[in-house]
Amino acid sequence: MGGATFIGTTSGFLSPASAAGAQIAVTLDQPSYVEGALMTLTVTEDVTKPNRRSIVIVDSTGTSWKKVKDNGRAPIFTAVAGTEHIGTNTVTVTLTRLPDGTTTSQKVTYTLGSQIPPWNPRFAGDREDRVMVGMAVTDKTNSNLKWENALGLLGAAGQYASVRRCFVPSWISKNSIDKWADRAETNGVYPVISFKVPGNDWAGVAAGKFDSDLDLLCSTLDARAAAGRAPVCIAVHHEPSGDGDLSVWARMNEYLSNRFAPWNDKFCFTTISNGYDWGPQNGGKGEVELMYPKSLIDTLNRNGHILGCDTYDSADATKLDYTRYDRTSLKIEGFVAWARAQGVQLIGLGEFGCHDDVDIDKCWKLIDDNRDLFAYACHFNSGQNSRADWRMTPVGYAPDPAVTSYTDMGGSAASAARLAAGCRMFTASAAARS
């Protein structure tokens, strides 16, 4: 039994068998407890009649022990573990034989730990067992770096990828929702799915013009949840800079957050803005203030939704100097600092891309150090619509025929270093979040 300590023959006690002494055993039902737990202590001795002995119990924590049973040979005591004195504590049991007053005592120790509160998901799809990091990969059928290829290259680390960024270039339909949600569920990952508003009509969304489509989304995801299907995360029009009035985009997202709030236990909502305005060298152009007024921040916080962005290194792979250029990790660092200053409760990275392994490691450290704030983060492991190569591939990996926005030269030393950094990141993400 946990915490059991026995003593042998003790001079001065007459056992029933001989005059050599008595035996006593002190046991606890467990070696360790958390605050508020019931502790049970049993004292086994050979003074068979309760009126022939007294037992005094002293706990080093000051906790009081109460006798709940005494059959003459093994009296049982209980106590409730206290809320202080975390660590190793001692219970001293002193038995006095009556009427001659001969005493013997024995000690037993136990460990007291903090009560671990029940885990409450921060949003639909949240995971307790890891920091949720994943990838964006192309869905082009002629690509040689689709999801299954990317996971294969990651080896054992691939099992820890827990998010997939999904792009729907059109508006909401039941087919597109089911398609991406099914794919992600099959892969055991959390999908962050974005849609594009027809004609970039953000004002129309905010005015209720597309409410029937939003209702379709909600009813589809509600039905999936009722069927026990995995939750998803939804975004509308990621990276809005250059596509319209950012203040209208903000108003649309405020409307969407409120519209989706009643289904918080079914699916989650996230914004995904551009992230370059958080750069220390070239940021600060005022876009952040337009995209995220206080009213939108307050709405996202109130509804348990996520404030996200996408951010990358520059297109020029030679611009690696942290003192001259806004590396991806520097923009994420600015994003995190801004979010904390504004009281944002949940943030995400819909996409992030780095030229080298050094910056991937820096990005991961920021995510890990701020795991209380981050909901998800996805490395852009794709050449689709890219200005540069962010992919994680080994040296000599064949050029991807699906890449058309730049000339793909195939796997390189840089892409192999990114692959190694990706393996480190995904493996480390398996640590529990709290």
Average pLDDT over residues 416-428: 98
Average pLDDT over residues 230-249: 98
Say what the pLDDT of residue 434 is.
52
Say what the pLDDT of residue 74 is.
87
Indicate the pLDDT class of residue 250, thresholds 50, 70 and 90. Answer: very high
This prediction has a pTM of 0.77
Average pLDDT over residues 385-399: 95
pLDDT at 16 over 60: no
Determine the Cα–Cα distance for residues 42 and 315; give it in Å rounded to an integer: 72
Digit-coded pLDDT (tens) for 270-297:
999 999 999 999 999 999 999 999 999 9
pLDDT at 14 over 70: no
Average pLDDT over residues 21-26: 71
> Would you report the helix, strand and coil content of the chain in percent, each value rounded to 5?
30, 25, 45
pLDDT at 351 over 70: yes
Determine the Cα–Cα distance for residues 256 and 272; give it in Å rounded to an integer: 13
Say what the pLDDT of residue 432 is.
65
Say what the pLDDT of residue 384 is.
87
β-pair type (87-97, 53-59): antiparallel
Q: Where are the alpha helices (DSSP H) in 98-173?
A: 147-154
Residue type, 272: I
Q: Shortest CA distance to 253 belongs to which of 238, 266, 265?
A: 238
Name the least confident of 99-108, 224-233, 358-367. Answer: 99-108
pLDDT at 12 over 80: no
* Percent of the chain clearing pLDDT 90 (strictly above): 80
- Stretch (H or E) spanning 380: strand 374-380
Say what the pLDDT of residue 8 is.
30
**CB-neighbour burial class of residue 427 (10 A; exposed 0-12, middle 13-18, buried 19+):** middle
Digit-coded pLDDT (tens) for 197-215:
999 999 999 999 999 999 9
Both structure tokens of 192: 């962050």
pLDDT at 146 over 90: yes
Q: Shortest CA distance to 421 belongs to which of 370, 375, 376, 381?
A: 381
* Percent of the chain clearing pLDDT 70 (strictly above): 93
Most confident of 4-13, 27-36, 192-201: 192-201
Mean predicted lDDT score pLDDT of the chain? 91
Say what the pLDDT of residue 358 is.
98
Say what the pLDDT of residue 48 is.
61
The single-letter DSSP state of residue 114 is: P
Residue type, 216: L
Better-predicted residue by pLDDT, 225 or 45: 225
Average pLDDT over residues 253-264: 98
Determine the Cα–Cα distance for residues 265 and 224; give it in Å rounded to an integer: 12
**What is the phi/psi pair of residue 364, to 5°?**
-60, -40
Both structure tokens of 256: 């969407």
pLDDT at 179 over 60: yes
E strand intervals along 32-189: 32-34, 38-45, 53-59, 66-69, 76-80, 87-97, 103-113, 133-136, 163-167
pLDDT at 10 over 60: no
Structural domains of the chain sorted by starting position, each given as residue range(s) with its CATH number in brackets: 5-113 (2.60.40.10), 133-428 (3.20.20.80)
Average pLDDT over residues 164-173: 96
Q: Is 310 helix (H, G, I), strand (E, B) or coil?
A: strand
Average pLDDT over residues 105-133: 90
Name the least confident of 16-20, 121-125, 226-230, 393-397. Answer: 16-20
